[in-house]
């Protein structure tokens, strides 16, 4: 009799634990390195990034939107659309001064972002935005951020610490964290893409990823978290903005419970797709997304 009693209790415990795991709130961390080219990804050693995405999917043929410059592309990542829709066509865009009107906008004049979508559709969701290139946030409506922080002079370590603390404080809530650094791009502009200085900058970015993983593991925040690695463009010589393949192919990676283990693989992908992937990770159905969004969530990457 005791055998059957213990077996029943064990099965009940497994069921309860399984249900609890299944009901854990989604946590998504978007790691962004500006100017991280596919050429750099293929050439430079980045063991921590490799380890993080070993059980997920990695693309090195993802296309930036045109022009291959910073603000249009990061806006596209976070709004599921291209410049022809969101209207951000250059790095000097502000909500008060721009030429091309967006085809859709909120009450303050901003194109709908993934942060807006989450805030309007998921109760208790927490969102955070960390950056170190001043103009980056100009195309985002900050009212959809629970926390945001800018770090000066290309620094990023304080923002990483803030992001970890934010996730710790909100571990019981659905959480989206956008964690960006521009130091890789500035190394390309200052010394040239694939210069020793650029390579060192990418290696520093990889170390930051390793430190992030260790910190999240120590706080029991790593398991069941989805991670994305994204960038805006590649580079050639000391610039970018053109249509060469060195500028127009970038790495893009994802890992987590809902992502297949595909490794390095080719699939049709664009910077416009990132917001739709994030939405799917938060279980938001396509018919609940803004009708103006033009990206797609690549079905091949999902379990």
User: Tens digit of pLDDT per residue, the chain (303 long)?
Assistant: 454 444 444 444 444 444 434 468 999 999 999 999 999 999 999 999 999 999 999 999 999 999 999 999 999 999 999 999 999 999 999 999 999 999 999 999 999 999 999 999 999 999 999 999 999 999 999 999 999 999 999 999 999 999 999 999 999 999 999 999 999 999 999 999 999 999 999 999 999 999 999 999 999 999 999 999 999 999 999 999 999 999 999 999 999 999 999 999 999 999 999 999 999 999 999 999 999 999 999 999 999
pLDDT in the model for residue 141: 98
Query: Beta strand pairing status for 250-255 and 226-230?
Result: antiparallel
What structural domains does the chain harbor? 27-301 (3.40.720.10)
pLDDT in the model for residue 23: 67
- The Cβ of residue 56 has, within 10 Å, a number of other Cβ atoms equal to 20
Q: Distance between CA 170 and CA 175 in Å, rounded?
A: 7
Burial of 172 (0-12, 13-18, 19+ CB in 10 A): exposed
pLDDT in the model for residue 24: 80
Its pTM stands at 0.92
Helical axes 274-281 vs 114-121, angle rounded to 10°: 20
Burial of 16 (0-12, 13-18, 19+ CB in 10 A): exposed
Which residues does 146 contact at the CB level (< 8 Å), separation at least 6? 126, 127, 128, 166, 170
């Amino acid at each position: 009799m005791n055998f059957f009693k213990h077996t029943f209790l064990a099965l009940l415990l497994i069921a309860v634990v399984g249900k609890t795991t299944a009901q854990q709130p989604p946590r998504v961390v978007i790691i962004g390195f500006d100017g991280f080219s596919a050429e750099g990804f293929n050439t430079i050693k980045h063991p921590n990034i490799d380890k993080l995405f070993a059980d997920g999917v990695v693309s090195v043929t993802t296309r930036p939107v045109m022009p291959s410059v910073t603000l249009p592309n990061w806006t596209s990542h976070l709004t599921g659309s291209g410049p022809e829709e969101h209207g951000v066509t250059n790095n000097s865009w502000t909500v008060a001064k721009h030429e091309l009107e967006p085809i859709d906008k909120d009450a303050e004049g901003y194109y709908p972002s993934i942060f807006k979508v989450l805030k309007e559709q998921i109760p208790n969701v927490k969102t955070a935005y960390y950056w170190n290139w001043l103009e980056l946030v100009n195309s985002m409506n900050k009212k959809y951020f629970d926390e945001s922080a800018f770090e000066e002079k290309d620094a990023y370590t304080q923002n990483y610490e803030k992001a970890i603390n934010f996730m710790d404080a909100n571990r019981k809530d659905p959480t989206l964290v956008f964690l960006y650094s521009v130091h890789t791009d500035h190394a390309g502009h200052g010394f040239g893409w694939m210069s020793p200085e650029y390579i060192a900058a990418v290696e520093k970015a990889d170390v930051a990823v390793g430190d992030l993983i260790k910190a999240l593991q120590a706080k029991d925040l790593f398991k069941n978290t989805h991670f994305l690695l994204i960038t805006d463009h590649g580079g050639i010589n000391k610039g970018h903005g053109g249509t060469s393949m060195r500028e127009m192919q970038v790495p893009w990676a994802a890992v987590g419970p809902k992502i297949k283990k595909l490794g390095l693989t080719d699939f049709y992908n664009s910077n416009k797709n990132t917001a739709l992937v994030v939405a799917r990770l938060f279980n938001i159905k396509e018919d609940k997304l803004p009708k103006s969004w033009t990206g797609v969530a690549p079905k091949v990457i999902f379990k």
